[in-house]
């Protein structure tokens, strides 16, 4: 603004100077013009007066040379000579008394002009030989105005002797001035040295008597210099005028040509106006430019302020970033970076600045990085990659996503790079975990032989289905995913929805439905369904098991079991009835054979008595067998309720039943530890131990007293109880056979028995959900093992059994 003000001031100073100079120039030009015109007039004036003066001098010479010169000759010569001068009106000669003696106009001769001031001047001139020029004078003789040029005459003694005069036409002077008048020159004057105006343009009526004696020319200029130019207020019209003047050297005449200052400056006024207008226009232009510049400056300063603010914002933004922002030269010399980047390096900013970051990159990575940087061009100035790098600060490996932008100048020279690194380790880990979960889901859901459906419980839409489902239902997976569960479940949709709602409420997770396949076939399915939420939406995950075959099989099995149970019952009924009813005739046979034996006792020879004895024994054995059979058939049909049975107590009772511990039985029983509680029928369990203990006593070794050891151990989900003896033992090839009905390893005569005891044991154990087997070493002894399903691990219900009874 100040600058433009200065420019404007300068412009106007220049305009002022220019106008001033122009004014001075105009005045100078006018001065030159008036001076040269004045000179022209002066020269012509001088020449004319020279001619007139010559004429006067010649006339004087003529007069003085010949005193007796004849008046007529003189007049004639005057006439002849004056004919050469158009300006010359007439000539005459005055005598010392002022009377006209000789005149080219005869009527003038004799006229007394002694009263004329010029005559007075000549007479009192002190003998000075000079030319006098009068003011325009009215001739009384001719009645015309004329200007007289006079020269005095002197006699031989040098005394005044009259004068010679030439009368000049004033118009001649006026014409002489007219030649120089122009638009430039508005006033010109010729005057004698008295200040009498001889001629003047423009003319005035009073000119005849005008005098400029008191004007500035005569009062100021002429006393100083014979010629010059000056500016002064005109005595005639009061206008300021510039005038040049010359006082002729030889003649008493002053010539002056003038122009009003106004006229002299007319051109200048116009020029000054033009200059001023130009100056004003220029000022306006400058003002406009200044305004525009100012506006631009303001806009620029606003933009600069905005830029600074935005730079500041950018800086704070960059500083606040967790991203690793850094700028560097082509050789990776760091020139700028944010705090996060410095922290990443674990170094103070001042230390890091100016370092090449490539130096801290592990050697094997460098080539790759340099290649990536070198590949960047002005048309492709960006590069992105994901790299796992050791954090220079602590060496911890991080996944960083690097985004690099190369910067080029306008001719494509590489200036440097800016890189933004984002630590995506966590995101990467999360991504990998997601991918793993996806894979797990894919494996569990899709790559699975089980038929799986994912259902939206709100709409019933099948959201996802696996290949097994596609195979089972006969629809492609994509098609399955466009179906609703109600499209394949044959139940009414409302009921299906209710079932799904129950699953969603986790009231049910196992459902039985009938599903329709693409072929139209209806299959029985079991659906294991569980609700879960993912992404805020509920889903039902269902495993569909085709149980059509199993159902059919189960139905068949059930029918067969029913049939079997019925026939078993029939058989058992038959066995019971048979064994029960068979004993009656057996008893009769036995009684009557015994009676027959007794009545025929003295008549029978020893062989016959022995036969009768065999018959009775056979009958008894048959009875025992039937009894055993009866007992076998009763196992599992006991009236007694099932309950928790303390095996320790059952063992004690069985031992007591056998009379173990009494004087009659020499066998010893040792129980180790505490026998467990099992779920079962007490009477049958007593029976089981009774059979096992009984056999241990029966199959004793002949050389040693029987020792029975009872023990137990928990083995997984079962209790194993054993009864071990030191008897004759069993060959391992009979281990299975001994549990079969009526299978015995010894003759009846050797060891009494029916071969059904262990069969009963096995039946009891099986009806209790257990197993029985034997371990034995012949001659050493046998160990019968019984495994029961464990009922309760808390030992609160069991009671210790005495170590020995």
Stretch that binds ligand ADP, among 515-523, 568-576, 701-709, 725-733 (CB under 6 A): 725-733
**Shortest spacing between CB 659 and ligand ADP, in angstroms:** 17
**Shortest spacing between CB 595 and ligand ADP, in angstroms:** 30
Q: Report the phi/psi class of residue 535: left, alpha or beta, with left for phi > 0 and alpha for psi in -120 to 50.
A: left
State which of residues 51, 416, 618, 753 lies at the interface with ligand ADP (CB under 6 A).
753
Distances (CA, A) of 499 to 463, 492, 537, 688: 18, 11, 19, 50
Stretch that binds ligand ADP, among 96-104, 211-219, 727-735, 789-797 (CB under 6 A): 727-735
Separation of CA 241 from chain center? 84
Alpha helices in 205-247 (DSSP H): 216
Residue (257 or 728) nearer to ligand ADP, CB: 728
Burial 257-289 (b: 16+ CB within 10 A, else e): bbbbbebbbbebeebbeebbeebeebbeebeee
Stretch that binds ligand ADP, among 19-27, 242-250, 571-579, 750-758 (CB under 6 A): 750-758
**Of 30, 18, 29, which Cα lies nearest the Cα of 273?**
18
User: Which residues lie below 8 Å from residue 60, measured CB to CB, with a gap of 6+?
Assistant: 151, 153, 164
195 binds ligand ADP (CB under 6 A): no
**Shortest spacing between CB 778 and ligand ADP, in angstroms:** 9
**Shortest spacing between CB 618 and ligand ADP, in angstroms:** 17
**Shortest spacing between CB 550 and ligand ADP, in angstroms:** 39
**Cα dihedral 332/335/340/345 (nearest 10):** 50
Q: How far apart are CA 768 and CA 686, in angstroms?
A: 13
State which of residues 151, 744, 763, 768 lies at the interface with ligand ADP (CB under 6 A).
744
**Shortest spacing between CB 561 and ligand ADP, in angstroms:** 28
762 binds ligand ADP (CB under 6 A): no
User: What's the DSSP call for residue 795?
Assistant: G
Q: Are 626 and 583 in contact (CB under 8 A)?
A: yes
**Shortest spacing between CB 619 and ligand ADP, in angstroms:** 18
Q: Sort strands 707-715 and 668-671 into parallel, antiparallel or unpaired.
A: parallel
* Residues 58-117 interacting with ligand ADP (rule: CB under 6 A): none
Q: Is 694 helix (H, G, I), strand (E, B) or coil?
A: helix
Residue (502 or 625) nearer to ligand ADP, CB: 625
State which of residues 699, 719, 722, 788 lies at the interface with ligand ADP (CB under 6 A).
699
**Shortest spacing between CB 744 and ligand ADP, in angstroms:** 4
Q: How far apart are CA 498 and CA 485, in angstroms?
A: 13
Return the residue nearest ligand ADP (CB atom).
753
Residue (75 or 720) nearer to ligand ADP, CB: 720
Residue (61 or 732) nearer to ligand ADP, CB: 732
User: Which residues lie below 8 Å from residue 370, measured CB to CB, with a gap of 6+?
Assistant: 358
**Shortest spacing between CB 623 and ligand ADP, in angstroms:** 15
Residue (106 or 747) nearer to ligand ADP, CB: 747
745 binds ligand ADP (CB under 6 A): yes
Which residue(s) pair with 258 in the sheet?
A: 187, 243
* Residues 487-526 interacting with ligand ADP (rule: CB under 6 A): none
For the four alpha carbons of 249, 251, 254 and 257, in that order, the dihedral sign comes to negative
466 binds ligand ADP (CB under 6 A): no
Stretch that binds ligand ADP, among 284-292, 326-334, 590-598, 755-763 (CB under 6 A): 755-763
Stretch that binds ligand ADP, among 369-377, 455-463, 586-594, 746-754 (CB under 6 A): 746-754
Does the N-terminal peptide bond of residue 202 adopt cis geometry, omega within 30 degrees of 0?
yes
For the four alpha carbons of 279, 284, 285 and 286, in that order, the dihedral sign comes to positive
State which of residues 695, 726, 762, 798 lies at the interface with ligand ADP (CB under 6 A).
695
Residue (629 or 758) nearer to ligand ADP, CB: 758
State which of residues 215, 279, 727, 770 lies at the interface with ligand ADP (CB under 6 A).
727
Residue (152 or 757) nearer to ligand ADP, CB: 757
Residue 122, CB-side half-sphere exposure with 13 Å CA sphere: 32
User: What's the DSSP call for residue 217?
Assistant: I
344 binds ligand ADP (CB under 6 A): no
706 binds ligand ADP (CB under 6 A): no
757 binds ligand ADP (CB under 6 A): yes
Stretch that binds ligand ADP, among 169-177, 390-398, 426-434, 691-699 (CB under 6 A): 691-699
730 binds ligand ADP (CB under 6 A): yes
Strand-by-strand arrangement of the 227-233 sheet: 197-201, 187-192, 253-260, 240-247, 227-233
Residue (270 or 742) nearer to ligand ADP, CB: 742
Q: What value, to the nearest 5°, has the Cα angle with vertex 248 and ends 245 and 251?
A: 140
Element (H, E) at 401: strand 397-408
696 binds ligand ADP (CB under 6 A): yes
3-state helix, strand, coil in the chain (%, to 5): 45, 25, 30
Which residue(s) pair with 785 in the sheet?
A: 722, 773
Binding-site size for ligand ADP (CB under 6 A) equals 18
**Look-up: residue for tokens 């009806």?**
767
State which of residues 47, 587, 746, 799 lies at the interface with ligand ADP (CB under 6 A).
746
783 binds ligand ADP (CB under 6 A): no
State which of residues 755, 763, 765, 786 lies at the interface with ligand ADP (CB under 6 A).
755
* 31 CB neighbour count, 10 Å cutoff: 20
- Which H, E and C letters describe 469-493, residue by residue? HHHHHCCCHHHHCCCEHHHHECCCH
738 binds ligand ADP (CB under 6 A): yes
Q: How far apart are CA 188 and CA 425, in angstroms?
A: 111
Stretch that binds ligand ADP, among 401-409, 485-493, 594-602, 741-749 (CB under 6 A): 741-749
State which of residues 185, 324, 728, 801 lies at the interface with ligand ADP (CB under 6 A).
728
Stretch that binds ligand ADP, among 168-176, 516-524, 605-613, 751-759 (CB under 6 A): 751-759
Residues that bind ligand ADP (CB under 6 A): 695-696, 699, 725, 727-728, 730, 738, 744-746, 753-758, 782
């Amino acid at each position: 603004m100040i600058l433009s003000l200065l420019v404007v001031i300068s412009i106007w100073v220049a305009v002022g100077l220019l106008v001033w100079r122009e004014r001075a120039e105009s005045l100078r030009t006018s001065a030159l013009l008036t001076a040269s015109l004045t000179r022209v007039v002066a020269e012509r004036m001088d020449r004319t007066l020279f001619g007139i003066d010559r004429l006067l001098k010649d006339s004087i010479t003529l007069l003085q040379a010949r005193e007796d010169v004849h008046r007529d000759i003189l007049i004639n010569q005057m006439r002849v000579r004056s004919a050469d001068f158009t300006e010359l009106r007439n000539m005459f000669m005055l005598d010392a008394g002022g009377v006209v003696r000789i005149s080219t106009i005869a009527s003038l001769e004799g006229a007394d002009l002694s009263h004329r001031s010029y005559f007075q001047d000549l007479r009192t001139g002190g003998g000075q030989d000079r030319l006098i020029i009068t003011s325009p004078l009215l001739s009384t003789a001719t009645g015309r105005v004329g200007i007289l040029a006079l020269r005095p005459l002197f006699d031989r003694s040098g005394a005044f002797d009259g004068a010679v005069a030439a009368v000049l036409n004033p118009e001649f002077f006026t014409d002489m001035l007219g030649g120089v008048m122009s638009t430039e020159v508005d006033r010109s004057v010729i005057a004698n040295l008295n200040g009498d105006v001889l001629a003047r343009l423009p003319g005035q009526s009073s000119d005849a008597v005008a005098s400029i004696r008191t004007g500035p020319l005569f009062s100021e200029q002429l006393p100083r210099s014979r010629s010059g130019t000056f500016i002064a207020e005109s005595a005639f019209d009061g206008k300021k005028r510039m005038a040049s003047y010359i006082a002729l050297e030889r003649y008493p005449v002053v010539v002056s040509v003038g122009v009003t200052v106004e006229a002299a400056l007319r051109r200048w006024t116009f020029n000054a106006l033009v200059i001023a207008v130009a100056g004003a226009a220029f000022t306006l232009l400058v003002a406009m430019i200044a305004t525009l510049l100012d506006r631009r400056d303001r806009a620029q300063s606003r933009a600069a302020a905005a830029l600074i603010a935005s730079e500041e914002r950018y800086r704070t933004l960059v500083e606040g970033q967790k991203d690793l922002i850094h700028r560097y030269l082509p050789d990776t010399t760091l020139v700028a970076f944010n705090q996060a980047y410095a922290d990443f390096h674990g170094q103070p900013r001042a230390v890091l600045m100016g370092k090449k970051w490539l130096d801290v990159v592990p050697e094997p990575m460098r080539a790759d990085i340099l290649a990536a940087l070198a590949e960047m061009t002005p048309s492709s100035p960006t590069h992105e990659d994901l790299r796992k790098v050791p954090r220079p600060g602590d060496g911890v490996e991080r996944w960083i996503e690097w985004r690099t932008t190369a910067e080029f100048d306008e001719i494509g020279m590489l200036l440097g790079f800016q890189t933004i690194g984002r630590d995506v380790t966590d995101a990467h880990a999360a991504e990998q975990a997601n991918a793993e979960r996806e894979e797990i889901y894919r494996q569990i859901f899709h790559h699975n032989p089980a038929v799986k459906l994912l259902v939206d419980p709100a709409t019933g839409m099948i959201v996802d289905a696996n290949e097994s489902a596609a195979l089972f239902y006969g629809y492609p997976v994509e098609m399955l995913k466009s179906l609703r569960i109600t499209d394949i479940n044959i139940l009414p949709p409302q009921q299906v929805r209710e079932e799904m709602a129950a699953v969603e409420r986790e009231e049910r997770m196992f459902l039985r439905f009938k599903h329709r396949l693409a072929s139209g076939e209806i299959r029985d399915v079991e659906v294991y369904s569980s609700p879960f939420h993912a992404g805020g939406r509920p889903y039902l995950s269902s495993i569909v098991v085709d149980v059509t075959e199993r159902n059919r099989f189960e139905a068949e099995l059930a029918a067969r079991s029913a049939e079997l149970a019925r026939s078993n019952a029939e058989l058992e009924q038959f066995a019971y009835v048979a064994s029960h009813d068979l004993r009656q005739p057996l008893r009769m046979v036995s009684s009557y054979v015994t009676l027959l034996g007794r009545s025929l006792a003295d008549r029978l020879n020893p062989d016959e008595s022995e036969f009768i004895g065999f018959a009775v024994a056979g009958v008894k054995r048959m009875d025992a067998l039937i009894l055993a059979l009866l007992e076998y058939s009763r196992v599992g049909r006991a009236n007694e309720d099932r309950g928790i049975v303390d095996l320790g107590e059952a063992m004690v009772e069985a031992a007591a039943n056998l009379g173990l511990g009494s004087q009659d039985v020499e066998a010893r029983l040792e129980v180790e530890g505490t026998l467990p509680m099992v779920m079962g029928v007490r009477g049958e369990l007593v029976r089981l131990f009774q059979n096992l203990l009984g056999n241990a006593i029966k199959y004793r070794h002949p050389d040693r007293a029987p020792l029975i050891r009872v023990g137990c151990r928990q083995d997984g989900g079962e209790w194993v109880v054993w009864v071990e003896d030191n008897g004759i033992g069993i060959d391992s090839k009979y281990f299975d056979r001994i549990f079969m009905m009526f299978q015995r390893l010894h003759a009846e005569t050797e060891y009494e028995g029916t071969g059904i005891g262990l069969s009963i044991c096995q039946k009891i154990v099986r009806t209790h959900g257990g197993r029985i087997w034997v371990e034995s070493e012949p001659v050493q002894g046998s160990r019968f093992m019984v495994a029961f399903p464990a009922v309760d691990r808390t030992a609160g219900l069991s009671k210790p059994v005495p170590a020995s009874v």
